[in-house]
Amino acid sequence: MKQAAFQLTEEYLKNEQIQIEEAYQKLISSNKNLSKSTDRLIIRKAFNMAVEAHKSMRRKSGEAYIFHPIAVAQIVSEEIGLGTTSIICALLHDTVEDTEVTLVDIKNLFGLKIAQIIDGLTKISNLFDQTSTLQAENFRKMLLTLSDDIRVIIIKIADRLHNMRTMGSMPAHKQRSKASETLFMFAPLAHRLGLYKIKSEMEDLGLKYTEPSIYKSIEEKLEKTKEVRERFINQFIVPIKRSLDDSQIHYEIKGRTKSIYSIWNKMKKKNIEFEEVYDVFAIRIILNTENKNEKADCWKVYSIVTDFYKPNPERLRDWITTPKSTGYESLHTTVMSPSGRWVEVQIRTSRMDRIAEKGYAAHWKYKNLGKESSIDEWINKIRDLLENQDSSALDFIDDFKLNLFSKEIYIFTPKGELRNLPVGCTALDFAFDIHTQIGEKCIGAKVNSKLVPLSHELKSGDQVEIITSAKQKVKEDWMNFVITGKAKSKIKTLLKDKRRAVALNGKEILERKYKSNSIAFSEENIATLTNFLKLENNQELFYRTALGKIDFKLLKNFKELKEQKKSSSSEKQKEEVNVINAYRSGKSELVIGEGVENLKYKIAKCCNPIPGDEVFGFVTINQGIKIHRVSCPNAIQLLSNYAYRIVKARWNTKESISFMAGIQIKGIDDVGIINKLTKLISSDLNVNMQSINFEGNDGMFEGTIMLYVNDTDHLESLIDKIKVLEGIQQAERIEKTSND
Q: What does each C-alpha distance from 234 to 207, 226, 283, 307, 503 come to in angstroms?
A: 30, 12, 10, 18, 70
> 344 pairs with which residues across the strands?
282, 334
Active site residues: 97-98
Q: Which long-range contacts (CB under 8 A, 24 or more apart) does 431-435 make?
A: 431/466, 432/482, 432/484, 432/486, 432/487, 432/490, 432/491, 433/484, 433/486, 433/487, 434/466
Q: What is the dihedral of CA 604, 605, 609, 611, to 10 degrees?
A: 90
Of how many residues is the chain composed?
740
For residues 374 and 366, what is the distance between their CA atoms, to the nearest angstrom?
A: 14
Cα torsion through 156, 157, 162, 168, rounded to 10: 100
Query: Which region, left, alpha or beta, applies to residue 672 given φ > 0 means left and ψ of -120 to 50 means alpha?
Result: left
Q: What is the 3-state secondary structure (H, E, C) of 635-665?
A: HHHHHHHCHHHEEEEEECCCCCCCEEEEEEE
144 φ, ψ to 5°?
Answer: -60, -25
DSSP state of 274: G
Task: Beginning with the edge strand found earlier in the chain, give each strand of the sheet holding 342-349 in spatial order.
Answer: 251-257, 281-287, 342-349, 331-336, 317-318
- The span from the CA of 566 to the CA of 374, in Å, is 55
In angstroms and rounded to an integer, the radius of gyration of the C-alpha atoms of the chain is 30
Q: Which residues contact 372 (CB under 8 A, 6 or more apart)?
A: none
Task: Give the whole-angstrom CA distance, residue 137 versus residue 119.
Answer: 19
Number of other residues whose CB lies within 10 A of the CB of residue 57: 16
> Strand order in 442-447's β-sheet?
450-452, 442-447, 464-468
DSSP state of 58: B
Measured distance between the N- and C-terminal CA atoms of the chain, rounded to whole angstroms = 38
Judge contact between 213 and 174, C-beta under 8 A: no
CA separation for the pair 183, 179 (Å, rounded): 6
Taking the CA of residue 648 as centre, how many other CA atoms within 13 Å lie in the half-sphere pointing to its CB?
10
Region of 81 (left: φ > 0; alpha: ψ -120 to 50; beta: rest) is left
Provide the 8-state DSSP code for 680.
Answer: I
The CA distances from residue 275 to 221, 224, 255, 267, 272, in Å, are: 9, 12, 18, 10, 8
